[in-house]
Structure 1
C-alpha cells in the first residue's frame, strides 16, 4: 500500500492532537500569580486617606467566602484588592498581608488590625490569620 501526502498529513494532525490533549490533561491549571516575589510593607500603618475612606474598616464577614484548601490567591486578591505586603518564599509558598482599622479597647480609639493569608506552592489558601478566625474555625464556620 502506497502512503500519500494526505495520509501523512492526517497522521501528523492526529499525533499533534493527541500530544496537545495529553499535555492539557496532565498540566495543572494554575492561574498567574497576582503578586509574585516580595513587595509592599508588612506591619505598616494605613494612610490617612485609606482610614478616612472607610474601605479598610475591619469586618470578618469580608473573609467569609474564603476556604482553606480551596480558595486561590487570585480570588483573595480579586475580593480584597492590593495587599499591603506580599512575600513569596523559595519553596513557592507565599503570604499576603492586609491592614484594616478596628475598634480599640480604649473608647473612641482605633487600632490597626493585621490579617495574613498564606498559600501553598499551587497558590491555594493554606492558612488565614485574623481576629475571630479561630472562633469561626472551632464553630465550623471556617
Structure 2
C-alpha cells in the first residue's frame, strides 16, 4: 500500500461539482492499493499516518501528531500510485489492485481510520469516480509511505 500524505490547512474533494468530502487542519492522503496488500498493510498505514509527528509545536519543531492536534484525514483512492512508468510512455498498472478486492480493502482502510480517529475526523473521496481534489498543502509537507519493504 502506498500513501502520499500531505499536511494541509484544508482540503476537499468534488464529484460532478459537488463537495463529497472536506477537512480543515490535517492530512490529505492519496492511497494506492496493490495486488499484494492485506490487513497488515492497512494497519501499518493507519499507524504511521496517525502517529507521524509533522505538526509544529510552539517552537516551530515538528513534534505533534495528527492525534495531538485533533486533525482530520481526507482519504482519496488513487490507483495511479501504482503506475510503473519505467518502460515506454504509458504507465503499466499491473501492480494496482483491481475491482471488488480494491474496494473492499479501501473500505477496510476507511473503517480502520474511523476506529482510530473517530468517524467525524475521516472524510473520503468516491472510489473509482472522476474526482477533483483541492489541496492547500501546509509547509509544504508531503511524505511518501510504503507498507512493503521493497520500496
Structure with greater Cα Rg = 1
Q: Is the shorter-chain TM-score for this pair beyond 0.5, marking a shared fold? A: no
TM-score, scaled relative to structure 2: 0.23
